[in-house]
Amino acid sequence: MTRLVILGMLVLSVAACGRVSSGLGRIGLGSGAVERTSVEVEGQRFKARANPDRADPRNFSVTVTPVAVNPQGAMDSARYQATRYCLLTYGGSDTDWTVGPETPISELSIADDTATLSGRCTQR
């Protein structure tokens, strides 16, 4: 009977693996599937999303909106989303930015009040 209870608990604990649901969205652990995240910076809410490259998921882009209200807050939100993506997918937060939060706002790709940044997770 004890073995049956332990086996049942093991099956139930493993059945929940693979997806974790939180207030920040649904995360497929290890798969890099990160949904849109709403981040609050200085009282302003930003929507950010990490989009992994299909050919090489270490490369990703992050879109964040709105930018016009608080450009620095939008960049902080994008940095948060990239850190979250790299940490949950590769176990480390190190990012090598191609176009990152430190890029001058005038040099960013912004369309419809949405900025697009890009980088690469460098954790091995």
- State the average pLDDT for the chain: 79
How do the domains of the chain map onto residue ranges? 18-121
Residue 32: the pLDDT is 44
Report helix, strand and coil shares of the chain as percent, to nearest 5. 30, 40, 30
Distance from C-alpha of 25 to C-alpha of 30, rounded to nearest angstrom: 15
What are residue 103's phi and psi, to 5 degrees? -65, 135
Band the pLDDT of 14: cuts 50, 70, 90: very low
Residue 49: the pLDDT is 94
Write down the residue that tokens 């998921």 correspond to: 57
- pLDDT tens digit string along 84-111? 999 999 999 999 999 999 999 999 999 9
- Is the pTM higher than 0.85? The answer reads no
Distance from C-alpha of 109 to C-alpha of 92, rounded to nearest angstrom: 27
In percent, how much of the chain has pLDDT > 70? 71
- Answer positive or negative: Cα dihedral of 37, 41, 46, 51: negative
Residue 123: the pLDDT is 82
